[in-house]
Amino acid sequence: MLFRFKSYLSLIKFSHTIFAMPFALIGYFLAFYGKLVEWNWVLLIKVILCMVFARSAAMSFNRLVDRYIDEKNPRTRMREIPQGIISPHSALLFTIVNSVLFVLTTLLINKLVFGLSPIALGVVLLYSYTKRFTMFSHIVLGLGLSLAPIGAFLAVTGEFTLLPILYSLVVLFWVAGFDIIYALQDEDFDRNFKLQSIPAVLGARRALIVAKLLHLFSAFLVIAIGVLTGFNLLYWIGALLFVALMIFQHTLVKPGDISKVNLAFATTNGLASIIFALFNILSILFPL
């Protein structure tokens, strides 16, 4: 039973929740910035559950759709479905269950979030097919994760405003940039099997330039948020560290050397997400 549980956690790369979850928490706490909104722990738990269910559905669906590709790729052939640890039928059932739980949880939040839930689910599931017809799959992945701060903000307020949208754009460009770096591992494989990614289409050198430009946009938005809101010093500390870590990951990966790609992808970006969220939340809760 424990092995089965661990297999599903590995299937959905549960540890990678660290990329989007902190931004969902930013969106949630952002709803209380300068507003007399009643604190609600139950609502926070519902927001977290929505994140877990949506991401679990998206990742299991991705592994299901890509199973024939994964079994041919030396980097991915040891994944759970190609190895027969989890059957395609079980992965499909897992996807359906998590999708239903996601929609039902949004129903318990408010009508707006519930009404938008099929769109959000559609975006995160669509990503699994994009590599087959466009090199901009990285942007679609970024778009899917960028829904986290907006969704959490809507859960509390039930209204759209500029600030959570700006945070979502930070996530979109940040995620798209580091996903391009991660995709460098499969540059040759993708090209040989007619799969589209920016590294496969443009080559490693130009792909890294695109990743740097996307991260530059993300850094610009981080600065713009601080200027527009007048957030305190705590925000700027978090912003500085977030941007510094974005820059740092580009020192780890070069066109002829991607040996440190996992350090750049998982460790650096995981730290960036946690640190940025922590200082954002502190700046909201303890305005100086």
Interhelix angle 162-183/21-30, rounded to 10 degrees, is 170
Measured CA to CA in angstroms, residue 266 lies from 84, 210, 252 at distances of 26, 19, 12
Question: Which of the residue ranges 90-99, 196-205, 233-242, 263-272 would you say has the lowest mean pLDDT?
Answer: 263-272
CATH number at residue 145: 1.10.357.140
Domain residues for the domain of 256 are 9-285
End-to-end CA distance of the chain: 50
Chain CA centroid to CA 117, Å = 17
Residues pairing with 254 in the sheet: 257
In a domain, 60, yes or no: yes
In a domain, 251, yes or no: yes
Please report, rounded to a whole number, the percentage of residues in the chain having pLDDT higher than 70: 97
Chain CA centroid to CA 116, Å = 18
Residue 219: CA atoms inside 13 Å, Cβ hemisphere, count? 16
Rounded to two decimals, the pTM is 0.94
pLDDT tens column, 36-88: 567 788 999 999 999 999 999 999 999 999 999 999 999 999 999 999 999 99
Give exposure, 119-133, as e/b (b: 16+ Cβ within 10 Å).
Answer: ebbebbbebbebbee
Q: What is the pLDDT of residue 2?
A: 55
In a domain, 220, yes or no: yes
Angle CA 229–233–236, to nearest 5:
70
Angle CA 234–235–240, to nearest 5:
100
pLDDT tens column, 212-242: 999 999 999 999 999 998 899 999 999 999 9
Rounded Cα gap, residues 68 and 105, in angstroms: 32
In a domain, 4, yes or no: no
The total of structural domains in the chain comes to 1
Q: What is the pLDDT of residue 36?
A: 57
Residue 55's H or E segment, with its range, is helix 41-65
Give the residue among 77, 33, 28 at the shortest CA–CA distance from 189: 77
